Amino acid sequence: MTRTKLSADTILDHAAALITAGEPLTFSTLARALGSRSQALYNYYPNQAALTDALCARNLHWLVPRLQKALFGLSGRAALTQLALTCRTSGLAHFRLTQFTLAHVHQDNAPATAGAMTDLRTLINQLIQSTPADAATQIVGERMLRNLIVGEIFNVGTGWFDDPAMSAEESFRQMVDQCLAPLFPEQ
pLDDT tens column, 81-127? 999 999 999 999 999 999 999 988 776 667 888 888 889 999 999 99
- pLDDT exceeds 80 at position 31: yes
Q: What is the mean pLDDT of residues 33-58?
A: 94
Distances (CA, A) of 113 to 66, 75, 182: 17, 27, 31
- Residue 1: is its pLDDT beyond 60? no
CB 180 within 8 A of CB 141: yes
More confident residue, 34 or 162: 34
**Looking at residue 107, what is its pLDDT?**
60
> Distance between CA 67 and CA 52 in Å, rounded?
23
From the list 126, 161, 162, the residue with the least C-alpha distance to 142 is: 126
- Rounded Cα distance between 2 and 182, Å, is 57
Q: Which of 154, 163, 142, 20 is nearest to 84 (CA)?
A: 142
pLDDT of residue 187: 64
Q: Does the global pTM surpass 0.85?
A: yes
pLDDT of residue 108: 65
Q: What whole-number distance in Å separates Cα of residue 100 and Cα of residue 1?
A: 26
| Best CA proximity match to 151, nearest among 75, 107, 92 | 92
Largest CA distance in the chain: 62
- 128-181 residue pLDDT tens: 999 999 999 999 999 999 999 999 999 999 988 888 899 999 999 999 999 999
Coil/strand/helix, residue 116: helix
Query: What is the pLDDT confidence band of residue 30, given thresholds at 50, 70 and 90?
Result: very high
SS3 content of the chain, % helix, strand, coil (to 5): 70, 0, 30
**Residue 77 predicted with pLDDT over 80:** yes
Mean pLDDT of the region 10-30:
96
Which residues are CB-contacts of 109 (< 8 A; sequence separation ≥ 6)? 49, 53
